[in-house]
Amino acid sequence: MQEDQVRVVRAAQRGDGLAMAELLDVLTPAVARWCGPIALQDSADAAQEALIAIFRGIGSLAEPAALFGWARTISVREAVRVARRTARERPAELPELPACDDPMLTVDVGDVLARLTPEHRAVLMLRDLEGLDERAAAELLGVPAGTAKSRLSRAREKFRKGWQA
Amino acid sequence: MTTWPMAEVDPIRRLRVLAAAVPGAVVTETTYDAPFAQVWAVAADLEHELPMYLPDVRTLRITRRDGERLEAHARGYAGMRARFDIVLRPGWCVMRSRLLLGGMAAVADQEQTRFAFLGGVHLPAQRALAPGLTLLGHVAGRHVLDRLAEQVRRRS
């Protein structure tokens, strides 16, 4: 993280509103990218709630260099919570997700994501959009590695079926 | 190229986030029956229009401009003077002095404009006073939005 950003984080932690606005500019695109695939039609609400949780908790961030990893954890959990709250999705019974570079992924994935549960979408986003390994994704989601692995496997399976449907 | 869904966080949502993060800060929202360009032309004309819709400000003079970052000096009716650091771009304005935090956000909604105003103060006992400040902020915010509506009508 650049020195300037460390300075902005420190100022935001002291309650400087202008620094918070500056940090909001930096964080919003990332939060929008994390919340979009998980909360889908509720993603604007999820991103807003995630950002509120991030800024209300900014004082507890000990190391400014950890900002993005810390904000990602909060965003994913908020997105899953918001998506579960509205519970509009009913997962379809679907087998095996294409790899990141699979040409099947070269179109809008929103419709297919909607067939998955928020938890499945979260693990899929962390692995295939963010490039996290299974252990890191499990840690972020607060679940055992085996659970993350089985969720990923089921998500990919459903995703594949979604494309073929 | 993969098109994963992205959340859309418009400026009004960003202003709500700022208000939620600053104790005592309040966002008041409305919809103006005027297009975005017309509303923002008034709201963003800080030197000429801001003293018309912010009742406590008598004059505001921009003393420095560097892209979207500005510095301004304001004088109030009660003799108050303050230097503001400002970020101003289409649909978004945040102003901060030693004691005050202000903000405006606007989003085009067809021929109308959704608009939000943020007001807050930095005080030593801010957290304890936050509920009272919130109530005052709602009343003051509504007043500012009404005055801004009047200025938009006057300019149209």
Chain position carrying tokens 């909001």: A24
Same domain, yes or no, for A98 and A162?
yes
What confidence category does residue A60 fall into, taking pLDDT thresholds of 50, 70 and 90? very high
**Whole domain around residue A45: which residue ranges?**
1-88
Model confidence pLDDT, tens digit, residues A99-131:
555 555 545 577 778 888 899 899 989 998 899
Q: How many domains does chain A fold into?
A: 2
Same domain, yes or no, for A40 and A120?
no
Nearest chain A residue (CA) to B121: A17
Residue A78 has pLDDT above 80, yes or no: yes
CATH of the domain at A26: 1.10.1740.10
Same domain, yes or no, for A115 and A84?
no
Tokens standing for B102? 């202000």
Distance, in angstroms, between B24 CA and closest chain A CA?
Answer: 12
CATH of the domain at B80: 3.30.530.20
pLDDT, tens digit only, all 156 positions of chain B: 568 899 999 999 999 999 999 888 999 999 999 999 999 999 999 999 999 998 888 999 999 999 999 999 999 887 889 999 999 999 999 999 988 899 999 999 999 999 999 998 766 555 555 555 565 667 788 999 999 999 999 988
Interface check A28 vs B, CB under 8 A = yes
pLDDT (0 to 100) of residue A90? 47
Same domain, yes or no, for A52 and A131?
no
pLDDT (0 to 100) of residue A93? 41
Q: Which are the contacts of B62, defined by CB distance < 8 A and separation ≥ 6?
A: B46, B47, B70, B71, B72
Mean pLDDT of A53-57: 97
Residue B13 near residue B24 (C-beta atoms within 8 A): no
Which of A53, A88, A123 is at the close of a domain? A88
Same domain, yes or no, for A67 and A143?
no
Q: Work out the percent of chain A whose per-residue pLDDT is above 90.
A: 56
User: pTM for the whole thing?
Assistant: 0.86
Q: Is the dihedral of CA B31, B33, B34, B39 positive or negative?
A: negative
Nearest chain B residue (CA) to A25: B14
ipTM, two decimals: 0.89
Q: Flag if A44 and B13 touch (Cβ within 8 Å).
A: yes
φ, ψ of residue A27 in degrees (nearest 5): -85, -30
Same domain, yes or no, for A58 and A101?
no
Q: Which of A20, A47, A108 sits opposite B9 (nearest CB)?
A: A47
